[in-house]
Amino acid sequence: MEIQGYKITRCIGQGGMAAAFLAEQTSLGRKVVLKILDTSIHDSPQTVERFLNEGRIVAGLQHPHIITIYDVGRAGNQIYISMEYVDGGDLKSRLQQQKTLNPAEALEIVRKIASGLAVAHANGIVHRDVKPGNVLFRKDGTPLLSDFGIAKRLQTDGDLTATGVFVGSPNYMAPEQADFAPIDARADIYSLGVILYEMLTGMKPYQSSSVVDVIYQHREAPIPRLPAPLAPFQEMIDVMLAKDRERRFPNCEALMRYIADLKRTKGYKDLAKTAAVPEFTTTGTFEATDTTISSVSLDRLPKPPRVRRAVWIALAGAALAYGAVYLADRHINAPPAPPRPATAAELEAPPPAQTGQAAGPQEREVVSALLWLGQHSLNENRLTAPPKDNAHYYFSRLLQLEPDNAEAKRGLVRIARGYAMLAEREVAQDHYELARRYISIGLQIDPGNEALLVLRDLATPTSHGFLDTVRGLFKKS
């Protein structure tokens, strides 16, 4: 792969839509990250628009705690974004290694990320996917907000998903995101509150082996209590994680003002004495005192409502009626893995559909969750494996509930297309046995896929190799 003006060193990340490469911008001799979308594979207008959306949005934001975009361009079939190379890791990895951060450091990370979000929000942009994996660090410890791939312009953009699926990561998703309700800056504040809770305790506030249950807990469960030593943070957590966004901080400026006030309290000072913040050299921070917006009067904020017992009874009924969709927490946050093919025998069928159930709110919730899980699995290349946590399983389960669901049908077509691309690659390298395996799985899913039918004829061992086989087909015609 060649992109003029850049010397690509190696691949450093692979997602369902794009790959990231470490490269050198030859004209300036600086390291950059090239995020590359191959339009010969991902050619839908929605995918291309979502990719370009990130470059356009971030390029317009100049802030010391937002990743810097250098360039957006096209080279052949590739569309690329050139961005700042950050070599200090991310918050997700740091939490995996350390479990918790000291309270003063956690609060400072929240303040700095909030300052970056304040600039984005002031420009009419909501990030919608604030999570530890999207908080990067420079070597000096400066936190940066990255990955604006699903960010939304409040006034001008249509919803790039436009499919009625969840947008964001379930563990950090504000309740209104799960409800498909209009969102604003307060959704990002909620996600940042989840991150703060996780940095302080080493745990997410809501945990379950079922992603559906995690989403319901974000919507309905009481806000968890912090351990006694962390009590100075409880009020802040309560406001950031309020179910009703009207009870949250109205904006990031108000949040930063609250943090400044919190640092002056005796409870915080006593806590901070036991854990000092590492001395990082940071510059250009956005100070809360620059804003004219007054801080939130927390004593006047209504308390979060208690979860209704009837809601949980309804949810339990839904789980029994339709079957819970299980997705272990480690899978929710697992990094994308290469697609693992299943054998023909392993191409599992979903459990038998329930009969005699009336359609209702619970079924619609399960349909929405299955659609999100299917799309999420596709984006992480989990086409037909692992068992009961793959795109084929979720889309098939959805079609049992709604046999005419167009999104689920399109999802199955995309799975078959994925196997066609895998098979094509193996045929080109004369790996015919593996190619036939991919073709077999793909045709089980989409028997009419023309690319797979052509590849089935090509995936025959010959002494001539792939190119000679192709020439032979043309001679026959």
Same domain, 380 and 323: yes
Same domain, 350 and 390: yes
Q: Does residue 200 fall inside a structural domain?
A: yes
The pLDDT of 458-464, averaged and rounded, is 63
Cis peptide before 386 (omega within 30 of 0): yes
3-state DSSP percent of the chain in helix, strand and coil, to 5: 50, 10, 40
Give the Cα separation of 291 and 115 in Å (integer): 11
CB 34 within 8 Å of CB 55: no
DSSP code of residue 24: E
The last residue of one of the domains, among 58, 84, 110, is 84
The answer, yes or no, to whether residue 342 has pLDDT greater than 60, is no
User: Which residue from 40, 89, 83, 77 is spatially nearest to 425, judged by alpha carbons?
Assistant: 40
The last residue of one of the domains, among 300, 330, 362, is 300
Candidate list 38, 43, 129, 147, residue with the active-site label: 129
Give the Cα separation of 377 and 411 in Å (integer): 10
The answer, yes or no, to whether residue 178 has pLDDT greater than 90, is no
The answer, yes or no, to whether residue 319 has pLDDT greater than 50, is no
Give the Cα separation of 46 and 191 in Å (integer): 25
Q: Does residue 306 fall inside a structural domain?
A: no
Q: Which amino acid type is present at position 467?
A: L
- Indicate which CATH number applies to the domain containing 224: 1.10.510.10
The answer, yes or no, to whether residue 7 has pLDDT greater than 50, is yes
Same domain, 79 and 102: no
* 48: containing domain: 6-84
User: Which residue from 41, 32, 17, 38 is spatially nearest to 80, judged by alpha carbons?
Assistant: 38
Range of lowest pLDDT (92-106, 225-239, 279-293, 351-365)? 279-293
By CB atoms closer than 10 A (0-12, 13-18, 19+), residue 303 is exposed
The answer, yes or no, to whether residue 316 has pLDDT greater than 90, is no
% of the chain surpassing 70 pLDDT = 70
Tally the domains of the chain.
3
Range of lowest pLDDT (46-60, 208-222, 267-281)? 267-281
**Does the active-site annotation cover 299?**
no
Same domain, 222 and 336: no
User: Mind listing the pLDDT tens digit for each residue in 246-287?
Assistant: 999 999 999 999 999 999 998 888 887 765 444 333 333 323
Give the Cα separation of 2 and 9 in Å (integer): 11
pLDDT band at 360 (very low <50, low <70, confident <90, very high): low
pLDDT band at 461 (very low <50, low <70, confident <90, very high): low
- Indicate which CATH number applies to the domain containing 48: 3.30.200.20
- Return the pLDDT at 349: 59
Top pLDDT among 131 and 301 is at: 131
Same domain, 139 and 214: yes
